[in-house]
Amino acid sequence: MSTSVNAGGRLDRLPIGPFHRRIMLLIGIGMFFDGFDIYIAGTVLSVTLKTGFSTLAQNAAFISATFVGMMLGSFGTGFLGDRYGRRFTYQFNLLLFGIASIAAAFSPNMAFLIACRFVMGVGLGAENVVGYSTMTEFVPARTRGKWLGLTAVCVVTGLPVALLVASVLVPQFGWRSMFVLGGIGALVVWYMRKSLPESPRWLEAVGRTTEAEALMQAIEKEAAQGQPLPAPAATIPAPVSPDLGTLFTAPLLSRMIVGAVCLITINTLLYGFVTWLPVFFVKQGLSVATSFGYSLLMALGAPIGAAIGALTADRWGRKPTIIGASLITVAFGILYPMISDPILLPAVGFALTVPIYVLVALLFGIYIPELFPTEVRLRASGIVNTLGRGATIVTPFLVVSLFESRGVAGVMALMIGLLVVQIVTVWALGIEPRHRSLEEMKAEETAAPVLKEAS
C-alpha cells in the first residue's frame, strides 16, 4: 500500500474558495500587525526623545535591538518550523510578539522598552518567515504569486496605516497607545488563528501521512462545497535530505545565493532609503511637518507597488518582474537626487517607492519561499532572511556616512549598486517558479545531481 498522500497535487487542483480566503485572512491579518509594528518605531521614538523619556543613543539601541531580534527570530523560526511544524511556529511567534508589545506599553524606563522591543523583534522576524512559507504550501500553483503578493500587501499596508493611526492616537493618548493597539491586535489574531490547520505538505514530508490524509480529506470537503473536484496531478515523491548541509550543496546553494543577495538588497532599500526619507527631507531644508507629509504621500506607494507585484507575478513571471522592477528603481534612483522642485520631489519619490514595493512583494512574499523544498523551506528562508536582516545593522552607519559626504546621491549610488548585483544574480542563477508546483521544482532539485553525473 502506498504511503504517498500526494498532498501537493491535491492542494494544487483545488478551486479558490472560502478555504483559501480564510487562510489568507488569518495569516494576512497577523502579517499586517507585523508590518504595522515595524513602522511605528519612527513615530514612537520621536515622541520619547521629545519628552525626555529617551536619548538619541537609546533610540539607536532601540532600533538595533529590533533588528537583532528580527535576525534571531528569522534564524530560529526556520529550525522550529521545519522541526515542529508551521502551525506551532506561527502561533508561538505571534503570542510572543503580542505579550511583549503589551509589556512595552507599560515600560517604566527606556532600558525596559528596549528589552521588550528585542523580544518583539524575535516575533516579528519569525512571522515574516513562517507567514509567507505557510501560504506558499496552501495555495495552488496557478495563482500562488497573486495570493502571496496579496499577503505582502497586508504587510506593507502597515506603513501608511501606522503613520495615520499615530497622527491620531499619539497626540491624544501618547506613544504607549501604539504598543497597546499592536499587542491587543496580535493577541486577537493569535486566538483566531487557533482554527488554522497544519500544512499537509509538511505533514507528508516528515512522514506523518495518516494526519496528512485526514487533513486533506477535510480540506477537500470544505473546498469542494458539494461539487466534484478535478483529478489531482500525480506527483513522484522526491525526498530531500533535511540536513542543514543540503542547503550549501548543489543545486540548492545557487538558490541560497539568490535569496541572500535579493534580501540584502531589498532590506537595504527599505532601511537605507525609505525609512530615512523624513531625515533626508529635513536635511534638504524642508520643515518637519512638510517632511512627514511628503513621507506619507510616498508611503502610499507601498500598498500600490505590492499590489502591482501581486497582480503581475503570475502573468509576467517572477524573474521578469524582479528584473523589470529593479531596472525601473535604478532609473528613478538616478533621477531622484537631481530633483529639487517641491512639487516634483514627492512625485518622483512616489514613483521610486512603487517599484521598490513591487520588489518587496516579489522577494519577501513570493519568490524566496518558492525557491526551497518543503523539508527545508523554513530553515532556508530563515537563513537568507537572517542575512538580509543582518544587513540592516550596518546600513544606518553606511547611510549616515554617504549622506554626509555625498548627499542623497551617495545613498542612491549604494542602492543602485546593490540593484545591479541583484539583476545579474537573478538573471544568471534564479529559477522561474511561475505556474509550477512545489513538488515539480523539488523533483528537479533531486534529479539535478544525477543528471550532472550522467553527463
Higher pLDDT, 403 or 362: 362
Q: In whole angstroms, what is the distance from residue 298 CA to residue 286 CA?
A: 15
Identify the band that residue 224 occupies on the pLDDT scale cut at 50, 70 and 90. Answer: confident
* Cell numbers 512638510: residue: 290
Cβ contact 258:371 at 8 Å: yes
pLDDT of residue 147: 93
Amino acid at the residue 331: A
Which pTM does this prediction carry?
Answer: 0.84
* Interatomic CA distance for residues 387 and 377, integer angstroms: 16
Q: Percentage of the chain surpassing pLDDT 90? A: 43
Q: What share of the chain is helix, strand, coil (3-state, %, to 5)?
A: 80, 0, 20
Least confident of 2-11, 149-158, 286-295, 414-423: 286-295
CA 282 to chain centroid, in Å, comes to 29
Mean pLDDT, rounded, for 177-182 = 93
Backbone φ and ψ of 250, nearest 5° = -60, 145
| Rounded mean pLDDT, 271-280 | 70
pLDDT in tens, 375-423: 889 999 999 999 998 887 777 778 778 888 888 888 889 999 999 999 9
Distance CA 322, CA 295 (A): 25
Q: Which residue has the higher pLDDT, 277 or 127?
A: 127
Q: HSE (CB half, 13 Å, CA atoms) of 413?
A: 10
- Classified as helix, coil or strand, 436 is coil
pLDDT given at position 451: 34
CA dist., res. 225 & res. 218, Å (int): 11
Kindly state the average pLDDT of the residues 355-375. 92
**From residue 139, how far is each of 9, 91, 443 by CA, in Å?**
11, 20, 19
In the structure grid, which three cell numbers stand for residue 422, read together?
A: 541583484
d(CA 447, CA 330): 37
How would residue 194 be classed by pLDDT, with cut points 50, 70 and 90?
confident
For position 120, what pLDDT does the model report? 94
Spell out the alpha helix ranges (H) of 106-208: 110-138, 144-156, 158-173, 176-192, 200-205
% of residues, the chain, pLDDT over 70: 90
Residue 2 has pLDDT above 60, yes or no: no
d(CA 120, CA 284): 34
Confidence of residue 238 (pLDDT cuts 50, 70, 90): low
Whether omega before 160 lies within 30 degrees of 0, making that bond cis, reads: no
* Burial of 276 from C-beta contacts in 10 A (0-12 / 13-18 / 19+): buried
The answer for residues whose C-beta is within 8 angstroms of residue 331's C-beta and 6 or more apart is: none
| Strand, coil or helix: 402 | helix
Angle at 392 between CA 39 and CA 300, to 5 degrees: 35
Q: Cell 480566503 belongs to which residue?
A: 21
Mean pLDDT of 116-121: 94
pLDDT of res. 264? 95
For residue 157, give the C-alpha cell.
499596508
Over the chain, what is the mean pLDDT?
Answer: 86
List pLDDT tens digits, range 33-81. 888 888 787 778 878 888 889 887 888 788 888 889 999 998 998 888 8
Tens of pLDDT, residue by residue over 7-37, are 989 999 999 888 899 999 999 998 898 888 8
Query: Rounded to the nearest 5 degrees, what angle is found at the Cα of 70, between the Cα atoms of 105 and 95?
Result: 55
E strand or H helix at 77: helix 56-84
Please state, in angstroms and rounded to a whole number, the distance separating the CA atoms of residues 442 and 455. 20
Model confidence at 138: pLDDT above 80: yes
Q: When comparing pLDDT for 282 and 156, which is higher?
A: 156
> In a 3-state reduction of DSSP, which class is residue 343?
coil
Tell me the average pLDDT across 354-368: 93
Taking the domains of the chain in order of start, what are their residue ranges? 7-223+233-448
**Residue 98: which pLDDT band, with cuts at 50, 70 and 90?**
very high
What is the model's pLDDT at position 228? 84
Contacts of 172 (CB under 8 A, 6+ apart): none
Q: What pLDDT shows up at residue 343?
A: 79
pLDDT-derived band at 319 (thresholds 50, 70, 90) equals very high
Q: Is the pLDDT of residue 285 over 80?
A: no
Provide mean pLDDT across the span 366-372. Answer: 92
Question: Could you say which of 1.10.3720.10, 3.30.2320.50, 1.10.10.10, 1.20.1250.20 is the CATH number of the domain covering 7-223+233-448?
Answer: 1.20.1250.20
Residues 407, 283: Cα–Cα separation, whole Å? 9
Give the whole-angstrom CA distance, residue 146 versus residue 54.
42
pLDDT surpasses 70 at 425:
yes
Mean pLDDT over 336-355 rounds to 84
Rounded CA separation 302/41 (Å) = 17
Query: Which one-letter DSSP state was computed for residue 397?
Result: H
Please report, in angstroms and rounded to a whole number, the separation of the first and last CA atoms in the chain.
35
- Backbone dihedral region for residue 85 (phi beyond 0: left; psi -120 to 50: alpha; all else: beta): left
Query: Closest Cα to residue 255, out of 73, 444, 454?
Result: 444
